[in-house]
Amino acid sequence: MINITTGTGKRSPAKSPQIEEVRGIKGILFSSVRTWLPALLAAAITFAVFLPSLSNEFVNYDDDRFVYNNKHIVSMGPDFIKWAFTNREYQWSPLRWISHATDYKIWGLNAAGHHLSSIVLHSLNAFLVVILVIRLLEVMKLKMPPSEAVEEEVDFRRKALVAGVITGLLFGIHPLRVESVVWIAERKDVLSSFFFLLGLISYLHYCAFSVRKRSFFYYLLALVLFIMAVMSKAAAVVLPLVLILMDFYPLERVNFRSGPGIWRRVIMEKLPFLVISGAVTWINIGVHESMGVITPLVEVPFTDRMLLAVKTIAFYLMKALWPFHLSLIYGKPYNVSFPSPEYIGSILFAAAVTALCIFLWQRGKRLWLSVWVYYIVMLLPVSVIKVYSFSFAHDRYTYMPSIGPFLLAGLGAAFLVERIKGKNKTILFSILIVVLSLIAGLTIKQIAVWKNSITLWSSVMEYNPRFIGAYYNRGFAYFTLGKYGEAIKDLDHVIESTPFEEAYNMRGAAYQETGDFQAALRDFSKVIELQPGNVPAYNNRADAYARIGNYQRALEDLGKAVEWDPKYSVTRINLCAVNNSMGNYQQALKECTMAIEMDPDNASAYKRRGFSYNALGNYKEAIRDYDRAVTLNSKDYETYNFRGIARKNNGDHSMAIRDFTRAIELNAGFFDVYIVRGVTYGELGKIEDAINDFTVAIGLRPKDASAYYNRGAAYYRLGREKEAMKDFRMAAGLGDRDVQKILKDRGIRW
């Protein structure tokens, strides 16, 4: 096996600075040239394994808040930079926001582009892990007596490459990585780890490889990279502890018997790191407490936290060895007590591993304890400080800690490669390929779990059927897709188990979309009963009243909503919509203008005001408002339809056709746009195109009289009177009174 110890504590003879510098330069060249190809291979394989995630969508778990509904990232101007560095709503991590904003600048809301960025960062991290492992092994070798044997040097390089590549591949393609890489909102994991790994490599250069004149440069570089790491994710605050651990081993700059002078130098050297770490920790603990993601000590005492920490330490190792039944949510930590068998087992396991590592350390085998301490230190922020109430563990928390156990696996593989000879070595490599292929297969399978919100929450339900949040979030996903029946089923389950206001509110909205307005009104009224000041519920109930033509009740609810919250722009937008429906276009203009003053970037306000302008015959102002609405929300098919109508009214039929076509591209099931585009085609003399649109409309709503009437009129213009009369009869039979009168006057029955 690779000799990774200094024997029984005896130190190698002192070497001259010139020899150290020559060996350091040699190590740098080795790292920068000979290791790049294997490291690139590990990165390329990692990239290939995660490529299927390019077809994944955004999910409705933080992706909405952080990315596709985050108005702050749509522009990278001074206001965004100020927000990124001062925002404490989620977590102080400005580089994370800059990363998302950069993706938005390049890709917009194309999820594939956001996934690509995460895959590239993760692949670079796999590359850096290979480099880091080889550099660590080089440091260990520098502590041994130098060897003049070329063959021994070649053997070391081969073993180091095997250990590095296996560690990098296990880190890169393991199923536990999926949550960090494929979940777009978790970009901070891969981004922070990129700077964290570079910081460790820079620190190694500073301590062991750099020429004296360049050593301070690597120290400053490590400090800058640390700052960038904590600006990406707060959990990187443990890096100073990892550096001190590296000072113990493999750098051997300090030990428990070192004098005060040596300790003073080491601590002073880490002081800038520790100050930054303390400041970022203080900021983010406050943020997380305000968010409710850190459970207070009164709810989870310190002793329980320690028990949970020990449990998660064992749990994550088990998942690393047996990566099956992975889940976003593992469930609440029930019965947290020392007598519980699962906690006794975890404590005994942790105690046994710790005792074994100390035993090996005392016998000069220092790697084991170093890896074990690294693993625990990396889990500290998320296992003791940040305790969630709904899940005791999360796969993403293993991203950096897993490097430790995988390093041992890589060294074990290198040991086997060294010992096994001849044909058996071919068998060994075949086994390694099969194992890595199986791991990659499990990762690809786990990537499919994150395909979309429905697959994600369905998977959570399989693992943890008691987690009501999964039903609520899947119901919301169904609602967003227009699958209202499925949404209602999931929300029924939520309300039966744990009724709360938002579940009633969403189910009411789903009922409303299915046309069951009475059920919708009951649910919205239930929300108001449970929470009288729920302004969105008043708005939703007002919308339901408006849809059944009860505009007076709608205005009453919206008036109550204004009383509860006069600055809620959505209420003003809905007042605008109701007044539009009532024909009160001047009042509608006033309401939407007030909404725009409250929220200048609200696309819906511009859309509703554009409708008012169009109804008043002010087509240019209408088009201007619709242009602004499209800029703010380019995916709203209804806005394109309305702008097309305004352009048609303004005499610009060709641009109107373009808008109608874009609306159809966004929603091929939008009935109204086929009617209006068909009419526009008819005005342009494109009668066949008009007939095609009316035919599609009939397919969408077979019982809508207007589609039959318009197609009949188009047939009549082409002289196809038999087909026209058939459509006119259908329109009359479906209740079109105008057509009925025309046919009756001509003595035609229907």
Best CA proximity match to 447, nearest among 662, 716, 180, 157:
180
Burial label for 470, CB within 10 Å (0-12, 13-18, 19+), is buried
- Hey, what amino acid is at 219? Y
pLDDT of 288 > 90? The answer is: no
**381 touches 240 (CB < 8 A):** no
The pLDDT of 428-438, averaged and rounded, is 95
Rounded mean pLDDT, 52-69: 96
- Under DSSP, the state recorded for 11 is P
Residue 127 has pLDDT above 50, yes or no: yes
In angstroms, rounded to a whole number, what is the distance separating the alpha carbons of residues 666 and 608?
Answer: 19
Whole-number pLDDT of residue 29: 39
Q: Quick one: pLDDT at residue 295?
A: 62
- Predicted confidence (pLDDT) at residue 6 exceeds the cutoff of 60: no
The region of weakest confidence among 72-76, 192-196, 283-287, 645-649 is 283-287
Q: Are 188 and 232 in contact (CB under 8 A)?
A: yes
pLDDT at 385 over 70: no
| Percent of the chain residues past pLDDT 70, beyond the cut | 90
Mean per-residue pLDDT, 466-482: 95
pLDDT of residue 88: 74
Predicted local distance difference test score (pLDDT) of residue 708: 93
pLDDT at 489 over 60: yes
Residue 16 predicted with pLDDT over 90: no
Residue 19: which pLDDT band, with cuts at 50, 70 and 90?
A: very low
Mean pLDDT value across residues 558-573 = 96
Angle among Cα 122, 123, 128 to the nearest 5 degrees reads: 95
Higher per-residue pLDDT: 145 or 441: 441
Average pLDDT of the segment spanning 510-536: 95
Q: Which of 196-205, 413-422, 479-488 has the lowest mean pLDDT?
A: 413-422
Nearest Cα neighbor of 721 from 712, 730, 731 is 712
Q: What is the DSSP string of 411-437?
A: HHHHHHHHH--THHHHHHHHHHHHHHH
- Please count the other Cβ atoms lying within 10 Å of the Cβ belonging to residue 372: 22
Mean pLDDT across the stretch 447-461?
A: 97
Tell me: the pLDDT tens digits for 321-377? 999 999 999 987 766 666 777 788 899 999 999 999 999 999 989 999 999 999 999
Choice between 295 and 701, residue whose per-residue pLDDT is larger: 701
Lowest mean pLDDT among 232-236, 394-398, 480-484, 741-745: 741-745
Longest dimension (CA), the chain: 117
- 364 or 640: which leads in pLDDT: 640
Tell me the pLDDT band of 140, cut-offs 50, 70 and 90: confident
